[in-house]
Amino acid sequence: MATPSSSPTVLERAAPLLRLPDASDVTPVAHGDEIVDPRSGRSWRVVGGVLDLLGDRFAPTPTQRMLDTRVTAWLYDLGRDVFAPLVGMPDFASEARDAAGRLGLARGDTVLDVACGHGNFTAELARVVGSEGLVIGLDISAAMLARAADRVRREDLANVLLVRGDALLLPLATGAVSKLICSGGLHQLPDLERALSEFARVLAPGGRLVASGFAEGGEGSRGWRSWLRRGLALHVVPLAPLERALVAAGFCDVSTRTSGPVGYAWASRTATPRP
């Protein structure tokens, strides 16, 4: 009697969705804990639970550099639930439930978690989509991803792949995922319009987006917010321009609101690609 084949690994499942540096037109192949460009033979290995597709091909902003240390990653992980209620944000459990509901998450979904940080949303989404689903958590911070990898191992999540990559050049194929979340990351993106365009590119038509970050209502203002942008590449995102930018990027059914200092946006990928 034939021996049943083993289930594919998370890397094998994710490989058809990924795109490698300098090989955006090639579908990579997974071998064990490596992913290989079949054209060049170049390979990338999962190390410490993270697939690094960025390496040194990245110049971090001051804010991104500040967050990429073990100490700041630790503080960020521990501080979220402590400080959120103090500034009017919802607790994590409520925020995660709301995000899953607005994404319309179901078992078997494929989700991209951009700016996944220490992986709290990544893990929660992985539980919702179940073993037949797949969550790809992406961040530029090696320190944050190390904490996310610890969380994935601790919670024994076999449907999560953590990737070090850039939100401005997502290492995924066009239309690769049906759901995308960027929780608490909008204000850290140095080129928001480019990032939104990438979000639209990797989402399948009809796919859903949930995103949030430090924000303000209306058109925005100058003063100290302009200084943050110039000095640290840290944005306080004005919601009215964000709504217009989402539509320009290829989204529809756009909604936004604020809760304390944080703005939330929800949208759907248009059913047909932009001309």
Question: pLDDT digits over 229-241, tens only?
Answer: 444 445 778 899 9
56 in a domain, yes or no? yes
Q: Are 76 and 117 in contact (CB under 8 A)?
A: yes
**Residue 10 domain flag:** no
Q: Taking a C-beta distance cutoff of 8 angstroms, is the pair 218, 239 a contact?
A: yes
Helix intervals (H) in the chain: 10-14, 62-67, 70-83, 92-103, 120-129, 142-154, 192-202, 224-232, 239-249
- pLDDT for 103 equals 97
Number of folded domains that form the chain: 1
> What's the pLDDT band for 218 if we cut at 50, 70, 90?
low
- Look at the block and give the residue holding tokens 């998370």: 10
Top pLDDT among 69 and 171 is at 171
Number of H helices, E strands in the chain: 9, 12
Which tokens hold the place of 34?
């490596």
**Mean local confidence (pLDDT), 212-235:** 59
> Is pLDDT at 106 greater than 60 in this prediction?
yes
Residues 6+ apart with CB under 8 A from 45: 33, 34, 35, 51
Q: What's the distance, CA 83 to chain centroid? A: 22
Please report which confidence band the pLDDT of residue 184 belongs to, taking 50, 70 and 90 as the band edges: confident
Range of the domain at 260: 49-269
The pLDDT confidence band at residue 190, using thresholds 50, 70 and 90, is: confident
What tokens appear for 65 in the block?
Answer: 């550099």
As a whole number of angstroms, the distance between CA 73 and CA 46 comes to 21
Q: What is the pLDDT of residue 259?
A: 84
Q: In the predicted model, what is the mean pLDDT of residues 198-220?
A: 88
Question: Torsions phi, psi of 272, nearest 5?
Answer: -125, 145
Task: Encode pLDDT of 116-173 as tens digits.
Answer: 999 999 999 999 999 999 999 999 999 999 999 999 999 999 999 999 999 999 999 9
Domain CATH number, residue 175 = 3.40.50.150
Between 58 and 152, the higher pLDDT residue: 152
> Is the pTM here over 0.85, yes or no?
yes
Q: What band does 217 get if pLDDT is binned at 50, 70 and 90?
A: confident
* Per-residue confidence (pLDDT) for residue 47, from 0 to 100: 97
Tell me: pLDDT of 18 over 70.
yes
Residue 57 has pLDDT above 80, yes or no: no
| Domain assignment of residue 151, yes or no | yes
Task: Kindly report the backbone phi and psi dihedral angles of residue 10, in degrees, each rounded to the nearest multiple of 5, phi listed first.
Answer: -65, -30
Provide the percentage of residues in the chain whose pLDDT is more than 90.
65
| pLDDT for the residue 122 | 97
Which tokens is 16 given?
Answer: 């058809």
Say if residue 59's pLDDT is above 90: no
The confidence band for 91, taking pLDDT boundaries of 50, 70 and 90, is: confident
Contact 113, 89 (CB under 8 A): no
Share the mean pLDDT of the chain: 86
CB 263 within 8 A of CB 239: yes
pLDDT of residue 2: 41
In a domain, 39, yes or no: no
Instruction: Say if 101 falls within a structural domain.
Output: yes
